[in-house]
Structure formats: structure tokens, C-alpha cells
Structure 1
Amino acid sequence: MSTATASPLTDPLAGDGSAETGLGAALSTALDGAHHRRRVAGRAAFPADGMLRDPALGLAEARVWTLRRLGEFVAAGFGQSIVPVERATPETQLQSLIDFETITYGDQSVAIKSGVQHGLFGGAIAGLGTAAQHERFLTDALQLRILGCFAMTERGHGSDVASLETTISYDADAGEFVVHSPHESSAKTYIGNAAADGHLATVFGQLIVDGVNQGVHCILVPLRDADGATLPGVTIGDNGHKGGLLGVDNGWIRFDHVRVPRDMLLDRFGSVRADGSYSSTIDNPNRRFFSMLGALVRGRICIGGGAAIAARVALSIATRYGERRTQFRHPHSDEESPLLDYLAHQRKLLPAIARAYALGFAQNELIDDYGRVSSDAAHDPRDQRALETLAAGLKALNTEFANATIQTCREACGGAGYMSENRLTQLRADTDVFATFEGDNTVLLQLVAKGVLTDYRDVWGGLDRLGLVQASARLVGGAVIERTGAGLLAERLVATARRKGDATAFYDRGWHAWMFEERERHSVDSLARRLRAADRDSFEQVNAMQD
């Protein structure tokens, strides 16, 4: 089996130990944040031998290599922190994210294969299933003894999950569910692990009980037998060659009245008794739907974090190359100048490095929030909403940054950057789709806007004049307390900047913070007023708000 060995230029783990300079070690510690020891342990456990796939491997060979490589990570202890909700702690939840981050330093296909197997398939069982289902399936999924799929996306519906066409109908006489794809557009597609490896799938569809649609639920559906042959009623196809991630076997699945035992429904949020009666601890169908999706937010956080790691790998490669590559003789020397001596080259890389740190600090806050909220079964719904909004926004920002930055790094390395052995073209190909899966970036930013406007409505909606005055006082007071206690100390910084005069204040960080806050306030106020004046039932008017 062909593998590629990382060079000092392309190895993202090079220099991660005692050889680091004092400054380098301090920066690494700062970027790792509160989880420095956990991340150092992960990098130390990383099985580095043969870490990169030979780019010359064909599609079938790449898939075999990727599955074998994932097995090496599992043997090293990665991917084992996906636990049921009742056993979740901040530590287990954080570790599951850091495991994915660490795998991303190597081959992206392996990281996404792990994301499908552990984060999505295993995560759905852990987050949506019962204790009996955890006992029956979860450990085998994490240990790769059961290879699984996360079958949500359909040909006709991707972002619009509520409109999925697959049906999960309960047959009370037989005590079974019947899973069916009623139309061509109902086929599940782009499903990782489907084309070759998957034997079991978490399938999302409309739950029909006694003729009543109870909304989207999830059920476990066997796909293949022990010999790898597809089971009756299941049709699987291969999506074929993709623009990247060749090691992930994406495929499509259609179901023709496939019968599944009643105990295969992942029924944490809604269950069906043997007599055909439906029950749920959440009466409101919309809240039930979003509670189910909220339990799956880990995948979105992982993709954003993985994109950030890919961008850092590219920046590491390009910066090291810029230090070593010389071009044009210096006017006062017989030696040629390194690329990084040129300001134009610095402009390509240094602002991106600074932004990588900024996004890394933001990602640290996000994973802290996830650890706290997801491990607390009694958490405030507002905290869950804030977590989902932050996860959506950072996933969009991280993936957009990664795609743009990897291309910049490729150009910064000239012809060498175009050579497959130097990883940049492979990174660019593999991370391209990060902008699409786990939420299309355009849709995610609209979710962020919706979350911000919901918060705005909660503060201002339905208040009389006295209430507006009181809410304003609470809002301003709370903002000052937050800034002083935990954030930018913006009021003090702005005051200091103003004392320095206009010219100096322009470069002051407090002034920048204040301007960003003012821009945010103005944008939200303006959009809220436009929406209030619009006809909510008019597609044209609401659509115009996106401009």
C-alpha cells in the first residue's frame, strides 16, 4: 500500500516539541488556550508514520487506504469520546472535538471518514438514541466493528431538512417501520460510507404514525449483510469521482418499502409504542425538530475547526517555504533575498496568520461553550440557541477563510506550491466542500442573522414606552458589565483612545472595538426596522432583506 511521508516543510507536527523557540512555544500555548495539555497529548498520540496518502492512488485504492488509516487512529485511542447524553461531561464533549481537530493535521479524507463514522453516525446514536440502543450499537460503531452512514441529505432537499421526502411509516399490525423513498428526489445522496463500507445507516425521514405526520425523525436501517451484499429493498449507488476527499466513499441510497423492527427508531425525542401510539416529551413539533438538530451541532463545530487546522497547515508550509526560498540579489549583497523579506510576500501571509490566531481564539470559546451546554441536560434553551448561532457563524467564517487562504498559500509557493507532494493542491481540493456540508455557508449566515434578530425581538418586542426605557437601561448596564468583567474593556479603551486625539485613536484597538459594535448595532437595528415594515408573507419583500 502506497503512502507518502511528510517532509519538514509539509509536516504540520514538525517543531511541536522541545525544539520550539520560547516565542514559538508561547504562541502554541496561547493558540491551544485552556486545552493546551489536551491538545499536546493528542499531537503526541498522533500516529505519524505514513500520515499522508500518496496522491497518485486511484479512487478504489484511496478508499482502502483511508479506512485502514482510520483504524490506526482508533487503535491509538482517537474517536472514543462520543458518549450518550446521560454520561456526557464537559471533558468528554471537548475531547471529541479535539480528536477530530488532531486527525485533521493529516489526510483530510481520514478526518472526514472519522467525522462520518464517529461524529455523525456514532453521534446520532449517542445523541438521539436510548440506553438500549447505546449498549447495542455505540461501542461497535466507535471501534469500527459496525461501519455506518448518516443519511440525511436527499437529491431534492439538502439545507431544507424539514421537507425531507423519505417516509418512515409505522405498521402496527407487524410492529415494524417501513422506510421508503417515494420519488427519485427522495434518494439519499452524497452519503459518506455508503458506496463501499457502510452496513448500517441512521436515516432521517418523515415519521408517519396512524396516518399522522409527526415530522422528521431518525431510524437505524441495515444496508448490507455480513458479506457486503445489499439487503432486499435497498439500492446503493456510487457518487463516483469527486473534486477532493477521494478516500471517502460517498454514495446514494434508495429504499423500497424496507421493513425495520420498532426498536430501531432513535427515539430520545419521540417514540412509538407497540399499539401504534406516538409520544414525545416535547409537544411542539417545531421545537422537537430543532431539539433533534441541536443534538447534532458537534459536526458543524468539527468542520469549522477542521477547516481552521487546514488553513494553519497551509500557512505553515507557505511560511517555511518563504523563509527558505530566495529570489533576486540584494543590492548591497552577493546573496539573494528570502521571499519573506519582501513586503508584498509578507502582505500575502502575515495578515492571514494573524486572522488564523483570531479565529483559533474564537473556536476555543465555541468548544468551551459546547462542552458546557451539551453536557448539561438542564441547560437553558437560550444557551443552546446561542451555541448554535455561534457554531453556524464560525463554521462559515472558518471554511471561507480556509478556502481563500489555502489558495493564497499555493500562489505564494509558486510552481512548488502546485506540486502534489507539497500538499497545497490536495488541501485546496479537500477543503473546498467544507463550505457546503454541515450547512451551506450562505444558509448558515442567514441562521446567524435569524438568531441575532430573535435576540433583538426578545429584548424589544412588545414593550410599551416605559418598558423600552427600562430595557435600554438594562441593556446598556449589562453591556458595560460584560465589557468590564469579561471582554474588551471597550469603554475604557475607547475613552483612552479619544484622549489621544483623532489621528492616534484611529489606530487604537478600543476605537476599533467600539466601531465594530456600532456597526453591528446599526445593522441589526436597520434590518429589524425593515422586517417590521415588510409583509412577512411576501417572498419578494423578505427576499429583498438579503441584499
Structure 2
Amino acid sequence: MPTTAEHLRIALDGAWHEARERARKDLAHEKFAPHYTPETDKARAITLEQMRILAEHGYAAAGFSVESGGTGDAGGAVASIEMLAMSDLSLMVKAGVQWGLFGGAVENLGTERHHEKYVKRLIDLDVLGCFAMTETGHGSDVQSLETTATYDPDTQEFVIHSPTPSSRKDYIGGAAQHARFASVFAQLVTQGETHGVHCFVVPIRDEDGNDLPGVTTSDCGYKGGLPGVDNGRIVFDQVRIPRENLLNKYADVEPDGTYVSDIDNPSRRFFTMLGTLVRGRITVGGSAGAAARVALSIATRYAE
């Protein structure tokens, strides 16, 4: 028979009790024990190792559709990430960037060709990525981002470029060390016309961790309270990627450079694209609540 405490836990867990209970069991692994690790490189290595353990247990599958190799349980995915915040906030942020932001952009803004190429691999951490939206000069003013993606019909490639110092991608989780790919938000330019911000998959490092030609990454350094998160900066200098690397669920560019979209209004198209990523923002709020509950529990025990 369940104890009173177990009944209470089930009730408080709500609809995603099973996801939360699974997280409790996974996080009972000795590698998830609380630790104080001020050395940045060591803290980052620990967080990546914890991520790999989660991947082995299929921790990220709930956040992706069945067709892409997941289980299609968005609520369970949010609950699972929230539980990480009760264990280690560095782990929560890094998992959120890899599976929620980078992975979410590929699945929600991409089409079948991207799903087949990337999603299963990023779930398993065979592909490590980052979410390159924020820029030095524009913060969260996404419509004003300056990074450009200019289409070259002669080679059927997009040229990703940082035209100004303020167009540097900044504070990007994973960009300092571990990410090999980035979902890059940039102004799409084709046939001399700008069509607003779109998202592209851009390789940024080789398998040995070296910056690829035209890509310059740098490290934001120690992050207070989140020592295991490798926030960094990215600058692009005429980096060429295949036309197919445009995440083209809502808009595409044909081989000759013609821009096509089922959403005629540029503002509506922009907000439709961003709306697909709202789960990541919900996760941040849920994780903050989870961390606050941990703090309240510690304070109460201390007061007693």
C-alpha cells in the first residue's frame, strides 16, 4: 500500500507523475550527486558526462515526435527538464539548450530532410548543437538581428556572415566548447531582397573541436551559478552552407533564388516561427519554480 507521503507526491506531481518519477530514478545515479566544482573545464566535463548518461536512458525522447524517433510527450518533456533543475541547474540549462532549443528548432522549423539527418542523432548526443539567436547589439530583439544569410544561386548555397561587431552571436550556450552545429537565426537575403529572420543549420566545429573555416568562437568564461554551461560567442566570415540547411517549414528558397512561403505577411510569418519555440520559454519558468522549491526546502530544514 502506498504511504501517505507517496499519495501526496503523486497528487502534487499531477498529470506527468510518471515522467517525474522516472527522473527521480535516473537522477539517483551517483554521477548526479551534488558537487561544488569551481574549475570551469572540470565542471563542464561533468555536465557533459551527465548529459550522456541521460541520453543513454532515453531522457530526451519525450520532446520529439514519434516520426522523428521520440515519444511525442511535450508535457512530459517539460516536466523532465524541470526535474533537472532540482538536481543541477547547469545540467538543466545544457539539456535545455541541446534538446529544447537546438533540437526544438530543428524539429519545429525544419522538415523531413532535417528530421532524418539530425533529430535522432541530437537526441543521442551524436550531434551536439547550440541555439545562435542572441547578438551583442540586439539581445532578444530578434527582428533586428544583423547576421545575414545571402543566397548564391550559382552554387546553391547560403553565405552566413556577421557584417558588424554588434552582429556577433553572444551568450550562446554550448558555443564556447562542446557544440559542433548551431541553429543560426539570420536575415535571409535572396535576389537582392531581404525576407526577414529565418533559421539555418550551420556547422561550426570539426570532430576535434576546432573552429571550421570562417567561424570564430570565443568563451564567455565562468558563469556564476552555472559553472557547467559553456556559454560562448560566434562570428561568421562568409561561411557557406548548402541551400538545404535552411529550416524550411514555413519558407523556402528555390534553386534559382526564388523565395516562397505559404504565409504572405512577413510579421505573421516571423511570429509563427518564434511561436514554435515557446516550449523552451515555458521550461525556463518551470525550472525557476523547481529551483525555488529546492531553496524553500533547504531554508525550512535549516530553520528547524
TM-score, length of structure 2 as denominator length: 0.94
Unpaired runs of 5+ residues, structure 1, are 1-16, 324-547
1:164 aligns with 2:145: yes
**2:214 — aligned with what?**
233
Which whole-Å CA distance do the structure 2 matches of 1:160 and 1:302 have between them? 20
Does the CA-based 8 Å contact 2:151-2:159 persist in structure 1?
yes
User: Which residue, out of 121, 125, 133, partners 1:144?
Assistant: 125
1:180 aligns with 2:161: yes
Residue 84 (structure 1) shift: 4.6
Which one has the bigger helix percentage?
Answer: 1
User: Which residue, out of 185, 189, 209, partners 1:208?
Assistant: 189
**1:40 — aligned with what?**
21
Residue 190 (structure 1) shift: 0.3
Residue 54 (structure 1) shift: 2.7
Residue 95 (structure 1) shift: 1.9
Q: Which amino acid aligns with 1:48?
A: H
Does the CA-based 8 Å contact 2:63-2:71 persist in structure 1?
no
1:74 aligns with 2:66: no
**2:265 — aligned with what?**
284
User: Which residue, out of 229, 248, 254, partners 1:267?
Assistant: 248
Which whole-Å CA distance do the structure 1 matches of 2:158 and 2:205 have between them? 18
Q: CA, structure 1 residues 131+194, in 2 after alignment: closer, same or farther (shift >3 Å)?
A: same
Which whole-Å CA distance do the structure 1 matches of 2:139 and 2:67 have between them? 30
Residue 114 (structure 1) shift: 0.3
Residue 53 (structure 1) shift: 4.8
**1:447 — aligned with what?**
none
Does the CA-based 8 Å contact 1:120-1:299 persist in structure 2?
yes
Which whole-Å CA distance do the structure 2 matches of 1:75 and 1:163 have between them? 39
> Once the two structures are superposed, what CA deviation does each residue of 1:348-392 show, in whole Å capped at 9, x if it has no partner?
xxxxxxxxxxxxxxxxxxxxxxxxxxxxxxxxxxxxxxxxxxxxx
Which whole-Å CA distance do the structure 2 matches of 1:97 and 1:85 have between them? 17
> Once the two structures are superposed, what CA deviation does each residue of 1:319-347 show, in whole Å capped at 9, x if it has no partner?
22233xxxxxxxxxxxxxxxxxxxxxxxx
Which whole-Å CA distance do the structure 2 matches of 1:72 and 1:188 have between them? 30
> Once the two structures are superposed, what CA deviation does each residue of 1:250-281 show, in whole Å capped at 9, x if it has no partner?
00000001000001000101100101101011
**RCO greater where, 1 or 2, for CA within 8 Å and sep 6 or more?**
2
Aligned-residue RMSD, C-alpha: 2.0
**1:381 — aligned with what?**
none
> Once the two structures are superposed, what CA deviation does each residue of 1:411-430 show, in whole Å capped at 9, x if it has no partner?
xxxxxxxxxxxxxxxxxxxx
Which whole-Å CA distance do the structure 2 matches of 1:88 and 1:285 have between them? 32
1:311 aligns with 2:281: no
Q: Which amino acid aligns with 1:233?
A: G
Does the CA-based 8 Å contact 2:61-2:70 persist in structure 1?
no
Does the CA-based 8 Å contact 2:19-2:80 persist in structure 1?
no
Q: Which amino acid aligns with 2:216?
A: T
Which whole-Å CA distance do the structure 2 matches of 1:219 and 1:35 have between them? 33
Unpaired runs of 5+ residues, structure 2, are none
Which whole-Å CA distance do the structure 1 matches of 2:225 and 2:170 have between them? 16
Deviation beyond 4 Å, 4+ runs, structure 1: 84-91
Which whole-Å CA distance do the structure 1 matches of 2:151 and 2:122 have between them? 26
Q: Which secondary structure state, in structure 2, belongs to the residue aligned with residue 308 of structure 1?
A: helix
Q: Which secondary structure state, in structure 2, belongs to the residue aligned with residue 81 of structure 1?
A: helix
Which whole-Å CA distance do the structure 2 matches of 1:85 and 1:157 have between them? 36
Instruction: Report matched runs for 1:363-382 at 5 Å.
Output: none
Q: CA, structure 1 residues 38+247, in 2 after alignment: closer, same or farther (shift >3 Å)?
A: closer
**2:43 — aligned with what?**
62
- Answer with 1 or 2: which has the greater Rg: 1
Q: CA, structure 1 residues 72+318, in 2 after alignment: closer, same or farther (shift >3 Å)?
A: same
**1:28 — aligned with what?**
9
Which whole-Å CA distance do the structure 1 matches of 2:248 and 2:265 have between them? 16
Residue 36 (structure 1) shift: 2.4
Q: CA, structure 1 residues 282+85, in 2 after alignment: closer, same or farther (shift >3 Å)?
A: farther
TM-score, length of structure 1 as denominator length: 0.53
Residue 88 (structure 1) shift: 10
**1:542 — aligned with what?**
none
Residue 241 (structure 1) shift: 1.7
**2:174 — aligned with what?**
193
> Once the two structures are superposed, what CA deviation does each residue of 1:404-450 show, in whole Å capped at 9, x if it has no partner?
xxxxxxxxxxxxxxxxxxxxxxxxxxxxxxxxxxxxxxxxxxxxxxx
Residue 188 (structure 1) shift: 0.1
Does the CA-based 8 Å contact 1:130-1:267 persist in structure 2?
yes
Which one has the bigger strand percentage?
Answer: 2
Does the CA-based 8 Å contact 1:223-1:230 persist in structure 2?
yes
Which whole-Å CA distance do the structure 1 matches of 2:208 and 2:228 have between them? 21
- Say how many residue pairs are matched: 304
Instruction: Report matched runs for 1:116-515 at 5 Å.
Output: 116-323=97-304
Does the CA-based 8 Å contact 2:16-2:76 persist in structure 1?
no
Q: Which secondary structure state, in structure 2, belongs to the residue aligned with residue 64 of structure 1?
A: helix
